Amino acid sequence: MSKSIVDHRYFIWAILALPSIPMIGALASGQPGPNGMPMTEMLLHPTGEFSARFLIIAMMLTPLRMLFPGSGFLRWLMKRRRYFGVAAFFYALFHTVLYIVDMGSLRAILGEFLALGIWTGWLAMVVFVPLTITSTDDAIRRLGPRWKTLQRTVYIVAVATLLHWIFVHNNFGPALVHFVPLAGLEIYRVLHNFRKRSTRPQAA
Amino acid sequence: MIIQKRAFALLILLSFPVSAGATGIHQCEARDKSDWLTKDQLTERLEASGWSVRFMKEDGGCWEVYGTNPDGQRVEGYFHPVTGDPELIAQRGRILFRAGVGD
């Protein structure tokens, strides 16, 4: 009974949507944040952060499974990896809409477009769109082997997101706290694959 | 091999430190609170020189002002709490002005 709830599609959606509930509540209240900070500006940070977190989780799963192949929890997550990616996209979209509303004019948006901390965010968002559109079962079938090649552009999203986060605040700390674990696992994955490849000729 | 894996997993876990609260972006000269300009005084002064102020808060002993500068750029500025002079102005992390460097 409880297992069927946990395995239901709506369960994972509910978990992924959970952080947006207080955000939407705060926005709907119409009240400003502390020090009179407009809510559109105040929510920029948490929306961006949850987008990055879900993106990082989705990307960490494959190397984590190399480390812990027996983990049932990781297998459970792996089956739902696309949901994490789609959630990351929707938090990023929420983030972008808040930014546009908060800026209030196209002139203001274009006026800072070329700042390193800004165009990297737009780049991540643009590359993210086709990844999300092709996250359906139908798209996987239609694209065949090209699906994986397309989805690998998620690395562009990750690097652009990392740069956006660092340079929009001119601060390395919080961005690195989030991305170092992923980078560590990617290094492990590369070393692991390299070792496997270098032992293969001897076996043959 | 298993020990190596565990050590690696531990390393990954340890790399998730608790994030600090203070921004540390800029520090202003320490001045007695009673000498500080009020929010209204600083807002009035900035608006007189073409700024529009959205809100401000204390950070690093400065008034950290969020608003639009006279060039229409959305900026975050650190102002001396007593004199109200700009010390650091940044547009989305891009430093536009730093006292003693750009002026």
| C-alpha to C-alpha distance for A96 and A94, rounded to whole angstroms | 5
pLDDT in tens, B58-87: 999 999 999 999 999 999 999 999 999 999
| C-alpha to C-alpha distance for B63 and B65, rounded to whole angstroms | 6
Residue B39 has pLDDT above 60, yes or no: yes
Q: What is the 3-state secondary structure (H, E, C) of A61-130?
A: HHHHHHHCCCCHHHHHHHHCHHHHHHHHHHHHHHHHHHHHHHHCCHHHHHHCCCCHHHHHHHHHHHHHHH
- Across all residues in chain A, what is the average pLDDT? 93
pLDDT at A131 (0 to 100): 98
What is the rounded average pLDDT of the residues A52-71? Answer: 95
In order, the DSSP letters of B46-89 are HHHTT-EEEEEEEETTEEEEEEE-TTS-EEEEEE-TTT--EEEE
Nearest residue in chain B measured CA to CA from A36: B55
Q: Which two tokens stand for residue A108?
A: 């203001």
DSSP B25: S
- Higher-scoring residue by pLDDT: A188, B14: A188
Nearest to A167 among B15, B55, B93 (CB): B93
- Cβ atoms A68, A74 nearer than 8 A: yes
Question: If residue B11 lies in a helix (H) or strand (E), which one and from where to where?
Answer: helix B2-14
Residue A90 has pLDDT above 60, yes or no: yes
pLDDT at A20 (0 to 100): 96
The least confident of A20-24, A93-97, B24-28, B87-91 is B24-28
CB contact under 8 A, B90 and A170: yes
Q: Which two tokens stand for residue A142?
A: 């239609």
Q: Which two tokens stand for residue A59?
A: 């990307």
Q: What is the ipTM of this complex?
A: 0.75
Size of interface A-B (CB pairs under 8 A): 74
Q: How far off is chain A from B72, nearest CA to CA, in Å? A: 7
What percentage of chain B exceeds 70 in pLDDT? 75
- CA B45 vs. chain centroid, Å, equals 19
Of the residues B12, B39, B75, the best mutation for testing chain A's interface (the one with the most A CB atoms within 10 Å of its CB) is B12
pLDDT at B4 (0 to 100): 63
Q: Which two tokens stand for residue A122?
A: 């737009």
Nearest residue in chain A measured CA to CA from B18: A177
